[in-house]
A = this chain, B = another copy of it.
């Protein structure tokens, strides 16, 4: 047990996830002592505000981790792969938001509402944060699983541009400006493509379109994003045999992922029972009254912490299945917030001994 508040380093403080992390930390009091901001040498010397104070960004180097208790990594996979072990060597616990370690058997993949105890099970000193698409449903699915026993998930995503970082946001904004200028677009094949200009990180225009692709190509036609939903859901829920089919689709939304989920359980589950259980689950907000026009949409959910759940229906042909529609801010619970929550569990160990 220590009287000193723990020291935190945020690697990737200048990125899309990093910026939201600074906002979130500014709302947390008495958790962290010093907070160090780290990014690439390109950003060294930049000044960012956290908890109302300007802090200078440092270039990533081994020394930035000296004296650090917890190091968060909000950087590309390759940077985490190289630098999280360096942070651990220098004495920090690494909480990594990238895909570098998520499926390693000796690295826990943690969602505090679902498997908080796994935080202590970190032989390598590294804890992974799930992918944003998985995170947009897993808190609600974990609560349902605990009561009804999950057997199968069929997931279709409606993923926001910011899942591809700041470049994704900028691309969607540029394309939206361009296609808004011509009220005839979207009625002939290719006209939106011609008008939208630069595709940025997406393989097809995103404005006035949807793109059934996220991530890289894996075996048998699956995208890396779709396999993450399957593999990470299985690991977080502790269900290595869970049946999961996901189709990941990018939509012209700035931030907040949405998911349509068909979930099958080992026992009957009514919509009312699901609504009641989810209504009481930490980290979940139920918004489900279509008669009053009440269901979650990304534009209304963005910037909030919970996983929002609506359109809860018992499948008409199988009383053990539910159909639901979920929304979660991919930069908050989908990334920065969950990382902050994990880091806070570690910080508690530090201050309580």
Contact = CB atoms under 8 A, between A and B. Distances in A.
A293 B203 CA distance: 6
A271 interface: yes
Contact of A212 (B192, B254, B260, B299): B260
A247 B325 contact: yes
Contact of A188 (B210, B246, B296, B302): B302
Contact of A180 (B180, B288, B303): B180
Given A154-B154, A176-B208, A193-B299, A260 B247 contact: yes
A254 B325 CA distance: 23
Nearest to A322: B245
B260 A262 contact: no
A156 B245 CA distance: 13
A104 interface: no
Contacts of A230: 316
Interface in A243-278: 243-247, 249, 251-255, 258, 260, 262, 271
Interface in A146-204: 152, 154, 156, 158, 173, 176-177, 179-181, 183, 185-193, 203-204
A276 B104 CA distance: 37
A301 interface: yes
B302 A158 contact: no
A213 B187 CA distance: 23
Contacts of A245: 262, 315-317, 321, 323
Given A210-B298, A221-B290, A255 B158 contact: no
A251 B210 contact: yes
A158 B291 CA distance: 21
Given A193-B300, A252-B208, A321-B245, A262 B154 contact: yes
A-B pairs, 8 with minimum CB distance: A186-B254, A156-B156, A180-B180, A243-B317, A192-B299, A156-B260, A209-B299, A247-B260
